[in-house]
Chain A
Amino acid sequence: MQTLDYLLHGFAIALTAKNLFYCSIGCLWGTVVGVLPGVGPLAGMALLLPLTYKLDPTGAIIMLAGIFYGAMYGGSTTSILVRMPGEAASVITCIDGYEMARKGRAGPALFLAGAGSFVGGTLSIIGLMLFAPILATVMLKVGPAAEFILMIFALLVVSFVALGSRLKVLAMIIVGLLLATVGIDSLTGWSRFTFGQLELSDGLNFVALSIGLFGVSEILLSFEETTKVKPIKPTLRQLLPNREELRASRGPVVRGSLIGFVFGIFPGVSHIVSTFVSYAIEKRLSKTPEEFGRGAVAGVAGPETANNATTGSSLIPLLVLGIPAIPSTAILLSAFLIHGVQPGPQLINDHPDVFWGLIASMYIGNLILVALNVPLVGIFVNLLRIPFGYLAPIILLISIIGVYSVNANILDVWVMLGAGVVGYLLRKFDYDVAPLLLALVLGDRIETNFRRALTISDGDYSIFVQGPAARVFICALALVVILQGVAIAAGYDQRTASEKDAGG
């Protein structure tokens, strides 16, 4: 009952004219970045970050979250009509979505993807709403030692599910942790790796690094793509699926919601993995598995539902633990901090307007996205006709303004440029830069909690394995290993996903 009261309070906040406007802008921009290959939700959120500086924290977070889940909707459009995933989680939709479109069923494919996304997204918000407060209450009792173990657990999970060689992933995590040590040491005030530059005292600019590593490097990589885009025009008069298609999508949507929600909680590339698992399960359960790859309805409805169902649950670690599960939520974490809001177990008590306003706005955002994506699909597809030579300078200009505006410091633009070159080279040689970014975000807290725990225990290292919390996290790690095993057994191919992992 209390949850319902809080939710109503959230709706009162989210339904104000300005927050509805921010939510709509976020959903619209999210759809655009989802449609455009090479931009992705991470770069899309980073690009719009400077626009939020003058907003109140609730409005800013509502808008940025709209981009995050909006991109999941937009990504399916290009998968179905062009066979080109707008963002990484839509890779699997290319297979049957495009085949449906080729058979003249583009309208129903888009409708089912939109409807499935709506159901998956909405159910995961309900899960987020119910689980987050419970988890937050538990986390309030956790000390620095368990928090240190939790964050190490998050990085270990990332290393399990990240793309490419484990050794390379480990190298990226350590580089991220090392970059996080730049700046004033929070416990002693000692300047580390600042080389007398005052600008580095607060550490490296996360926005500059993330836009460089993902956004700029993606633009450099996109120039090497030579594929010409020829979208299939959907026959919007035949937008609604027939009775048979509706019946065939019912089960996959329910299962996709569940799969997406469970996978979304765990850090890494959960949104991508969940789509592969959903596809494999639907194929296994289907009475006509030979239809898969030739335009099976379940091959579109299941994975699209799953990738949207991860959006709500992937916010649980961010909002309750302050740990970003995927790089996109790392940008959201950065936005929280810029606006003076610390995500974690105290968030619900300290900033109820932000938490419940965000939850309510996600319900509204899902409705806005269905309204945007299904009937207006033709307009979004036309975005693909803009030559990249015109698009890249505009994206870069917004990036430069965004990066500079964080600290009004030109050094950050140089950092973005350098990170872009480094990110490009790393990605050319199969290094996944997502673990670096997550380690960079968590680095300071890992070190602080490690040293605080040792101070509390008077130097006794056994503090890190004592207590029920540490044991729970170790069990959770085992569960993740099992889930990853299931994903691999279901045919999830890391390399396939990595080819289009533009910044999810």
Chain B
Amino acid sequence: MLKNINSRTGELCIAAVLLALAAFVIFEGLRMPIGTWALPGPGYFPIALAIILAIVSIGLLFRRPEQPEPVELFHAKGLITLGAVAGVAFLFERIGAIPAFGLFLAALFYLLGETRWWIAVALGAAGASLAWLLFVYLLQLQLPGA
């Protein structure tokens, strides 16, 4: 877990990202037909919004800071969860949805539920089978390899 990020530092980072987003939209928007004041084109709205976003971001960058507080970011279990979702997204179409779900559930039951590995594997297999039964067999959703 990353600890004690200053809240003001975090706020400045977010404001800087918003400013960068505004700059990017203006850059991309200028490559679209902007139209005229009376008859706006597809680039008009994004550019107008990006200009407002840039002004707001600058406001956020320079606003009077509140009392800075330490902010804890990303609990270890949160990072494991994100990794597992990324893993299932990567494996989903490669090994098929149901095996990917089984691995996903087993890994998270083991790491987050802090259970024994064989129980996690059994629960993962049961959960994946249940997902197949409900979503593929009963609801007839199209999942890769299922």
Give chain A's interface residues, CB within 8 Å of chain B: 50-51, 53-54, 165, 167-168, 170-171, 174-175, 177-178, 181, 185, 187-188, 190, 192-193, 216, 219-220, 223-224, 387-390, 392-394, 396-397, 400-401, 404-405, 408, 410, 413-414, 416-417, 420-421, 424-426, 428-429, 431, 447, 450-451, 454-455, 458-460
Contact = CB atoms under 8 A, between A and B. Distances in A.
A402 B83 CA distance: 19
Contact of B14 (A170, A394, A431, A458): A431
B68 to A, nearest CB: 11
Chain A residues touching B, majority SS: helix
A453 to B, nearest CB: 11
B39 A455 contact: yes
B41 to A, nearest CB: 7
Given A171-B56, A223-B81, A392-B112, A426 B88 contact: no
A171 B105 contact: no
A454 B92 contact: no
B20 interface: no
Size class of the B contact interface (CB-based, 8 Å)? 35 or more
B49 A177 contact: yes
Contact of A413 (B36, B38, B85): B85
Contacts of B88: 400, 413
Contacts of A393: 84, 104-105, 108-109, 112-113, 127
B18 interface: yes
B45 interface: yes
A178 B85 contact: no
Given A401-B135, A410-B92, A429-B14, A396 B49 contact: no
B21 A420 contact: no
Contacts of B75: 220, 223-224
Contact of A387 (B7, B41, B113): B113
A224 B105 CA distance: 21
Contacts of B105: 393-394, 397
A393 B131 CA distance: 13
Contacts, number: 168
B112 A181 contact: no
A414 B28 CA distance: 23
B86 A167 contact: no
Contacts of A404: 92, 143
A215 to B, nearest CB: 11
- Secondary structure call for the B interface: helix
A414 B89 contact: yes
A192 B49 CA distance: 14
Given A178-B25, A181-B45, A393-B108, A224 B63 contact: no
Interface in B124-146: 127, 131, 135, 139-143
A417 B33 contact: no
A50 B142 CA distance: 11
Given A397-B131, A404-B143, A454-B38, A413 B53 contact: no
10 contacts: A192-B32, A220-B78, A223-B75, A223-B77, A389-B112, A393-B108, A413-B88, A429-B11, A454-B39, A455-B39
Interface in B20-72: 21, 25, 28, 32-33, 36-46, 49-50, 52-53, 56-57, 59-60, 63, 71-72
Contacts of A170: 56
B74 interface: yes
Contacts of A192: 32, 42-43, 46
A91 B50 CA distance: 37
A183 to B, nearest CB: 11
Most buried by B among A54, A389, A410: A389
Contacts of B86: 417
Given A188-B41, A429-B7, A454-B38, A401 B25 contact: no
B135 to A, nearest CB: 6
Interface in B76-127: 77-78, 81-82, 84-86, 88-89, 92-93, 97, 101, 104-105, 108-109, 112-114, 127
B85 A396 contact: yes
A421 B53 contact: no
Nearest to B77: A223
Nearest to B88: A400
Contact of B131 (A167, A389, A401, A426): A401
A185 B35 CA distance: 13
Nearest to A448: B45
A476 B50 CA distance: 28
A207 B20 CA distance: 26
Given A224-B78, A459-B37, 7 more contacts: A185-B42, A393-B109, A393-B113, A413-B92, A417-B89, A425-B10, A454-B38
Given A387-B113, A431-B14, A190 B42 contact: yes
Contacts of B43: 192
B49 A167 contact: no
Contacts of B7: 429
